[in-house]
Structures are given as structure tokens and as C-alpha cells.
């Protein structure tokens, strides 16, 4: 083996070659011909919220293909590059990667989805750094009030589409009403952004429940990842609750539901937000998963089409199952819709170099997406608009579990696919 | 009746905490080693159990037959190759090394198993219950408690009725003199760590059947383990069981007052006991 020695002459020729290289080598990519628009995307790919982002790869692949030809804006074609980062289900990490996308990758638009733990920190970062931001997949109350939004004022750069607690309450009552079970409801609300919003005496579930004649037994906020729910179970048993509702993460619900069986508590209806959205969670519960109910934001039976690909809800869901071999999940539709809105905004913005012009394009959106109409001029509060919500129940269908839509009074255009069955 | 229920459920929860703590108590008792990586080792046990059940398709409790010896071997090798180098008069080096181990373990698990929550499926055992005097008690928590008592009893028996236990106690009392008497303290420490990680494997599998776990939850379990050891008194195995039960009962009774108090109440009881009796309730050795 010969040893390379660095002589002065050798060093000089090497440095000269390095310096001259860019001038000699011709760049294959011409500058400024087709400018690139960067879209930052934050979602919880790993961690306890990972099931929300399960469809990321499938949706992003399809969207990237769609964007490959570029998007035209004012006669100029823009390349669109999506940079996706993992929040690891941790709000601090979400803020960190959002700051990284904004300051490091210098994204032009930032998008985020899945629970207040992801959406809020990303939106806050976007608001501080004045980057246009679109988010979804988090009820609007924890989004708006969780970020200390002032009704009437709202935010400058951040916009959100999803439904609100009033829709959940409406859908739940719509589902429970006709069954005639006793109107005593046990509430399980964790001490996190969602739990505090759902359990809030003024803005959450308690007030509308009382108005509808339901008696809500709320033992108080528990710490997420508790090892024991026997006190809640005892309180529900003592009050004779026939319905259990709340907003939980899957591990807490698994602990609660196992302990309920162990301690002889058998409610007739169990309707839990967040935890019961996913087929994988229902499957891990085995036979105990049959008959649990949840809110339904999107399903293959929703009568909407993508503005980007023209695909129907059913085609999008079937595509996911074909690509991954896994059952459809609700966030698929919203993740797709998020990029539908991005594409629409990029097309309409008056000047893509100007963040303010992008923001005003977001604000003037009126788009029929795969999850329904997105139009920020009709929202319940500043910077927020709503998509339809119905209620559904997991029922055994052949080998697997299927989420049947069992209540749709608020949105009769979304067809019913089943009838609510009581658990016991 | 509700209070009785809270206390009984808390006692059963205490069984799980005692299992978390038993390994810690043992290691500290024999070699004065504070193992910061203990929580992550519990999680490692749970993941090994998950892998074994997934590969062989057996019941999680059957997986104990494979996971316990595996963890024991890991413990022996770990002690002989790394931790023995750090032992000496100073408490700080082993503390720092186990802290590093904790970080390495967490990240290795994250790399292999991802951050997705996992759960071991024990079938009908998870929901089975028995009725005792108007209280419904889960079979799984009862089984966990019974295993905790059995493990503590077995450890106690090993310590005071066997030659190995005598060797443990001798090295614990005075390492140099034990060495003079022909005991190889490096080997003895290796065996102690093997025994401790064997117990940790049981704790990990019981945790994995009871609830979901992911690579990051070890730290929280370490706190419960430490609290149980310190409440019960350093180096006292039955004290560790008592400590676990006191912690479990404090949590459920706290939750009875308000669910937000569940974890806080446990910590407050721990602080109160630490303030009144810094060596714990039943100390065998002075800290």
C-alpha cells in the first residue's frame, strides 16, 4: 500500500480542481425555470398516536405522483416537494420538527394532522414564524382554545378543518336516544388537551348532556397511562351507568375495559372518542371489541370524491387495503383532503413568494374534498371550518370487524349502514 | 364498600409494583448497586416475551420458561463484563454506567421494535374474575399478586436457606473477608444480577399482559420500583412487598378521592415516609 503524502504542489492542484469543478461541470438542473414550493408535513408516525399516521405513506405516495408534474400557478409551473417529519407522538418533538422545517428546510407551507398533541405545537410554531399553516384531524375546541385563541380575533397564519365537540355530542345523543337505555352516563376524561376539552363544564360534554336529560358521572381527570381504573368502575357501578363515554388513548381503554370485565361492570353502550377509531385496536381487544362505538369522521361510504384524483371514498379506502393489506382507517380521508387543500391553495394563490398571499388563498378556500366541503368563510369560529360527523359501531362482519354507521341525523346525505346493537 | 374495594384493588396493584421492585432490592442488597436501567430492563423483558409469544405462538405465561433464563444469562454477562468493573468504594461510577445502559437499551428497543405500543394477548385470563364477599377481583391481578408473593418468598428462602444465599449475605456484609474465605465475589455478583434480571423478566411479562407498553415507559416503572424499595426499607425483601402494597393502595385511595390524585398520592406517601423514616419502614441495612 502506498502512502499518499500531501505536498504543497499536490495540495494546490487539488484545491484548484475543487474550486474550478462547479464551473466545469454543467448543472443538469436549470435554475429558476421551475421554482420549487416546499410543503412541510408533521405527523405522529411512531409512538402511541402512530395509528393516526398509518396511512401516511400510501396517501403521500399518491399525492407525490399527482404533484410530480408540478402545479400551475399564474401560468408558471411549480415543483412541489413534500418534506415529512415524525413527531414521535410528542408535542415537544412536534414543535421541534416544525421549527426545523420552517427555519432549516424553509418550507413555504406547513401542514400537520392528528390530535392536539401534533396540531397545536406545529400551528404555534407556524404562527410565531409567520408561515402559512393548514391542519386537520383534531376537534376545533382543543385546537382553538388550547392555543389560547380569542373568538373574533383568531390567528394570523394558521387554519384548521375538522369537526367540533358539539358535533360529537350531537352524534352520540343521536345514537343513544332511540335505544331507550337509562340516561346515566359514565365519563372518562384524561388530563390531556382532548380530555380537558371534552370534560370542560362550560365548553365540553357536561352542559349539553344535562340539557338533553343525561346524567353525566364524571369522577375527574385521570393521568394518561394509569395502571388502575377500579375507582372509576366502582363509581359507574354505584351510579348504575348503562353508557360509558369519554376520550381515551388505546392503552388506557384496554386497561379500563379489561378491569371492567374483571370487576363485573357491563354497560350497554360504550362510545369512546379517539381510542376506538382503529381496526387494529378493536382486533387487539378480541371478542370484547364487538359492539363498541365511536364517532365517524369519514368512511368508504361517505358520498364524496377527491378534487385531486376524482377517486370516491370507497376507491381511496380500497386502494389503501390493496396497497397495504390492512383495513381502512378514518384518517386516510383527512390526510388526503389536507393535500387536496394544499394543491387548491397553490393553484389559487396570487403570489406564491408571498406568505400573506398564500394565507389569503387559504382563507378564501371553497373546495369539495373527499371528507366534505372545506370553506373557512362558514366556520363556527375564526380560522376553523367543519366537516360532517356521524356515529358508528364496530360489528362483527364475516371474519373481521366493520365500522357500521348507525346514526346520521345531522348529515342524512351520509347513508346508514347498520343498526346500533346493545352490548348486554 | 367502595373504600374496601379501593384498598383491595390497590393491594393487588401493589403486587405488580413489588415485582418491579424485587430485582432492584436484591441488587442493592447484595452489591449496593443502584440500577438506573432497571425500568428499561423490565421493558426489555416485556419485549422478549412479546417476541417469544409471536414466534412460538404460545401463551405469555408459558413464555416465562424461555424469557426468565434468557434475562438471567443477560444479567450474568452484563455484570461480569461491565458492571463488575465499576464496583468499588464509590457509588457514582455504577450509577453513571447504568444510566448510560438505560439510554442505550431504550434506543435499541426503539430501533428494533419501533415506538408503537404493543400488548401481549393472554386470552380469557385478561377478563376473568372471581367474586369475593361482594367484590369482583380480576384473576390476572390476583395471579400477579400471588406471583409477587411467591417470588419474594423464593428470594427470601434463597437468601437465608441456601449456600448461594449465604454467599450473597457474606459478600454483602464484607466483600474483602468473603473473598478471603474463598468466595469469588465477581461470580457471586454475576449470579445476583442473573437472579435479579430473572425476576425482572417476570415483572416485564406481567406488565405486558396487563397493559400496553412501548420502549419509553421504563422510566415511569423505575420510579414505582424505587419508591417501593425505599418505603419498605433497603435490603429487606418482605419490606419491598409491603412497600409495593403501600404504594398501590396510596394510588387507588388517592384516585378514590379524585382520579387526578392517583399518581400524586403515591408520591406523597413516599415523601412522607422518607421524611419520617429515611431508611424506610423495615430497614435491614443502614443506607
Instruction: Taking residues A11-38, report their average pLDDT.
Output: 64
Pick from A14-18, A47-51, A152-156 the range whose average pLDDT is largest. Answer: A152-156
Domain encompassing residue A149: 36-163+301-386
| Nearest C-alpha neighbor of A338 from the set A86, A73, A5, A84 | A84
Residue A364: how many CB atoms within 10 A of its CB? 13
pLDDT digits (tens, 9 = 90+) for A199-210: 988 888 999 999
Q: Is residue A149 part of a domain?
A: yes
A9 falls within a domain:
no
Please indicate, yes or no, whether residues A66 and A196 belong to a single structural domain of this protein.
Answer: no
In the block, residue with C-alpha cell 343525561: A214
Q: Do A223 and B262 touch (CB under 8 A)?
A: yes
Whether A360 and A398 map to the same domain: the answer is no
Q: Nearest-CA distance from A285 to chain B in Å?
A: 9
Report chain B residues whose CB lies below 8 A from the CB of A228: 9-10, 13, 248, 251-252, 255, 262
Residue of B nearest to A252 (CA): B211
The chain B residue lying nearest A196, using CA atoms, is B260
Give the model confidence (pLDDT) of B3-37 as tens digits. 898 899 999 999 999 999 999 999 888 888 889 99
Residue A17 inside a domain? The answer is no
Asked whether B267 and B57 are in contact (CB, 8 A), the reply is no
Residue A68 within a domain = yes
**Residue contacts between A and B (CB atoms, under 8 Å):** 114
- Which CATH number is A102's domain given? 3.40.50.2300
- Tell me whether residues A254 and B119 touch, CB distance under 8 A: yes
- Indicate yes or no: CB of A284 within 8 angstroms of CB of B256: no
Q: How far is CA B203 from CA B39, B67, B85, B249, in A?
A: 10, 11, 27, 19
Query: pLDDT at position B141, please?
Result: 92
Do A252 and A393 share a domain, yes or no?
A: yes
**Is there a single domain that holds both residue A243 and residue A348?**
no
Q: At what angle do helices A230-239 and B2-31 cross, to 10 degrees?
A: 170
Q: Give the distance from CA B54 to its chain's centroid.
A: 24
Largest CA distance in chain B: 59
Closest C-alpha among A225, A230, A217 to residue A275: A225
Closest chain B residue to the Cα of A46, Cα to Cα: B115
Q: Same domain for A170 and A148?
A: no
DSSP helix/strand/coil, B275: helix
% of chain B residues with pLDDT over 90 = 56
Please tell me whether residue B142 adopts helix, strand or coil conformation: helix
Asked whether residue A172 falls in the same domain as residue A215, the answer is yes
Contact across the interface for B5 and A221, Cβ inside 8 Å: no
A402 and A279, same domain (yes or no):
yes
Q: Within a domain: residue A20?
A: no
Q: Is the pLDDT of residue A28 over 50?
A: no
Query: Does residue B255 belong to the interface with chain A, where contact is any CB pair within 8 Å?
Result: yes
Same domain, A150 and A184: no
Spatial neighbors of A14 by CB under 8 A, at least 6 apart, are: none
> What single-letter DSSP state applies at residue B213?
B
Tell me if A15 is assigned to some domain: no
pLDDT average, residue stretch A344-355: 90
Cβ atoms of A157 and A109 within 8 Å: the answer is: no
Nearest Cα residue to B203 out of B22, B29, B51: B22
Residue A334 lies in a domain: yes
- To 10 degrees, the CA torsion angle through B66, B69, B74, B77? -150
Å between A135 CA and nearest CA of chain B: 23
How many domains does chain A divide into? 2
Q: B214 CB near a chain A CB, below 8 Å?
A: yes
Q: Does B116 touch chain A (CB under 8 A)?
A: yes
Helices of type H across A227-278: 230-239, 250-262
Regarding whether A208 and A156 lie in a shared domain, the answer is no
From first to last of the 287 residues of chain B, give the pLDDT tens digit: 778 988 999 999 999 999 999 999 998 888 888 899 999 999 999 999 999 999 999 999 999 999 999 999 999 999 999 998 888 778 888 899 999 999 899 889 988 887 677 888 888 888 888 888 888 888 999 999 999 999 999 999 999 999 999 999 998 888 889 889 888 989 999 999 999 999 999 999 999 888 878 888 888 788 899 999 999 988 788 999 999 999 999 999 998 888 888 888 999 999 999 999 988 888 775 43
Q: Which residues of A touch B9 (CB under 8 A)?
A: 228, 230-231, 263
Instruction: Give the model's pLDDT for residue A1.
Output: 47
Q: Considering CB atoms only, which of B6, B211, B220 is closest to A254? A: B211
Per the CB < 8 Å rule, is A231 touching B212?
no
Give the side-chain half-sphere CA count within 13 A for A407.
27
* A98 and A113 belong to one structural domain: yes
Which residue is listed with cell 376524561?
A189
Whether A22 is in a domain gets the answer no
* DSSP secondary structure, A90-150, as one string: -HHHHHHHHHIIIIIS--SEEEEESHHHHHHHHHHHHHHHT--EEEESS-HHHHHTTTT--
Same domain membership, residue A347 and residue A307: yes
Query: Is A258 in the same domain as A368?
Result: no
Amino acid at each position: 500500500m502506498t502512502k499518499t503524502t500531501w505536498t504543497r504542489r499536490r495540495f494546490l492542484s487539488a484545491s484548484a480542481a475543487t474550486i474550478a469543478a462547479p464551473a466545469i461541470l454543467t448543472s443538469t438542473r436549470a435554475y429558476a425555470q421551475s421554482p420549487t414550493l416546499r410543503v412541510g408535513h408533521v405527523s405522529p408516525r411512531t409512538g402511541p398516536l402512530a395509528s393516526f399516521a398509518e396511512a401516511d405513506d400510501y396517501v403521500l405516495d399518491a399525492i407525490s405522483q399527482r404533484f410530480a408534474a408540478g402545479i400551475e400557478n399564474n401560468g408558471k409551473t411549480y415543483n412541489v416537494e413534500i418534506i415529512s417529519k415524525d413527531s414521535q407522538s410528542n408535542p415537544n418533538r412536534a414543535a421541534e420538527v416544525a421549527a426545523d422545517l420552517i427555519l432549516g428546510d424553509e418550507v413555504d407551507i406547513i401542514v400537520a394532522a392528528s390530535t392536539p398533541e401534533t396540531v397545536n405545537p406545529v400551528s404555534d410554531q407556524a404562527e410565531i414564524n409567520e408561515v402559512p399553516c393548514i391542519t386537520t384531524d383534531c376537534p376545533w375546541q382543543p385546537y382553538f382554545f388550547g392555543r389560547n385563541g380569542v373568538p373574533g380575533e383568531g390567528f394570523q397564519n394558521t387554519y384548521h378543518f375538522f369537526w367540533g365537540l358539539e358535533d360529537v355530542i350531537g352524534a352520540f345523543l343521536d345514537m343513544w336516544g332511540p335505544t331507550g337505555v337509562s340516561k346515566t352516563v359514565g365519563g372518562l376524561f384524561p388530563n390531556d388537551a382532548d380530555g380537558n376539552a371534552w370534560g370542560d363544564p362550560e365548553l365540553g360534554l357536561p352542559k349539553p348532556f344535562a340539557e338533553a336529560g343525561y346524567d353525566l358521572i364524571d369522577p375527574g381527570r385521570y393521568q394518561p397511562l394509569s395502571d388502575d381504573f377500579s375507582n372509576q368502575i366502582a363509581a359507574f357501578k354505584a351510579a348504575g351507568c348503562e353508557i360509558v363515554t369519554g376520550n381515551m388513548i388505546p392503552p388506557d381503554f384496554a386497561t379500563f375495559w379489561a378491569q371492567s370485565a374483571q370487576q363485573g361492570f357491563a354497560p350497554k353502550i360504550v362510545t369512546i372518542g379517539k381510542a376506538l377509531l382503529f381496526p387494529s385496536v378493536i382486533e387487539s381487544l378480541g371478542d370484547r371489541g364487538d359492539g363498541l362505538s365511536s364517532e365517524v369522521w369519514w368512511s368508504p361510504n361517505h358520498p364524496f370524491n377527491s378534487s385531486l384524483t376524482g377517486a370516491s371514498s370507497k376507491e381511496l379506502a380500497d386502494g389503501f387495503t390493496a396497497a397495504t393489506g390492512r383495513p381502512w382507517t378514518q384518517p386516510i380521508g383527512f390526510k388526503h383532503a389536507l393535500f387536496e387543500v394544499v394543491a387548491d391553495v397553490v393553484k389559487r394563490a396570487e403570489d406564491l413568494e408571498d406568505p400573506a398571499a398564500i394565507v389569503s388563498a387559504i382563507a378564501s378556500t371553497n373546495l369539495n374534498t373527499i371528507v366534505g366541503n372545506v370553506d373557512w368563510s362558514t366556520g363556527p369560529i375564526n380560522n376553523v371550518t367543519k366537516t360532517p360527523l356521524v356515529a358508528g359501531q364496530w360489528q362483527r362482519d364475516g371474519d373481521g370487524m366493520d365500522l357500521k354507521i348507525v346514526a346520521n341525523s345531522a348529515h342524512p346525505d351520509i347513508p346508514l349502514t347498520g343498526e346500533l346493537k346493545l352490548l348486554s | 364498600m367502595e373504600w374496601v374495594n379501593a384498598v383491595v384493588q390497590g393491594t393487588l396493584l401493589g403486587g405488580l409494583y413489588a415485582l418491579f421492585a424485587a430485582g432492584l432490592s436484591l441488587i442493592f442488597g447484595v452489591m449496593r448497586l443502584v440500577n438506573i436501567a432497571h425500568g428499561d430492563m423490565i421493558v426489555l423483558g416485556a419485549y422478549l416475551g412479546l417476541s417469544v409469544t409471536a414466534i412460538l405462538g404460545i401463551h405469555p405465561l408459558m413464555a416465562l420458561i424461555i424469557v426468565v433464563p434468557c434475562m438471567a444469562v443477560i444479567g450474568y454477562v452484563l455484570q461480569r463484563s461491565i458492571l463488575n468493573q465499576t464496583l468499588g468504594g464509590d457509588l457514582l461510577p455504577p450509577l453513571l454506567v447504568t444510566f448510560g445502559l438505560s439510554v442505550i437499551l431504550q434506543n435499541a428497543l426503539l430501533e428494533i421494535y419501533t415506538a408503537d405500543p404493543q400488548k401481549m394477548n393472554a386470552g380469557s385470563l385478561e377478563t376473568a374474575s372471581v367474586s369475593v364477599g361482594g367484590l369482583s377481583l380480576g384473576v390476572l391481578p390476583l395471579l400477579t399478586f400471588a406471583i409477587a408473593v411467591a417470588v419474594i418468598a423464593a428470594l427470601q428462602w434463597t437468601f437465608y436457606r441456601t449456600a448461594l444465599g449465604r454467599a450473597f449475605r457474606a459478600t454483602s456484609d464484607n466483600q474483602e473477608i468473603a473473598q478471603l474465605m474463598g468466595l469469588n465475589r465477581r461470580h457471586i455478583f454475576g449470579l445476583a444480577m442473573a437472579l435479579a434480571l430473572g425476576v425482572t423478566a417476570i415483572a416485564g411479562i406481567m406488565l405486558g399482559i396487563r397493559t400496553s407498553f412501548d420502549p419509553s415507559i421504563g422510566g415511569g416503572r423505575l420510579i414505582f420500583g424505587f419508591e417501593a424499595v425505599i418505603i419498605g426499607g433497603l435490603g429487606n425483601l418482605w419490606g419491598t412487598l409491603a412497600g409495593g402494597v403501600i404504594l398501590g393502595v396510596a394510588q387507588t385511595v388517592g384516585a378514590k378521592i379524585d382520579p387526578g390524585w392517583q399518581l400524586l398520592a403515591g408520591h406523597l406517601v413516599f415523601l412522607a415516609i422518607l421524611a419520617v423514616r429515611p431508611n424506610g419502614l423495615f430497614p435491614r441495612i443502614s443506607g
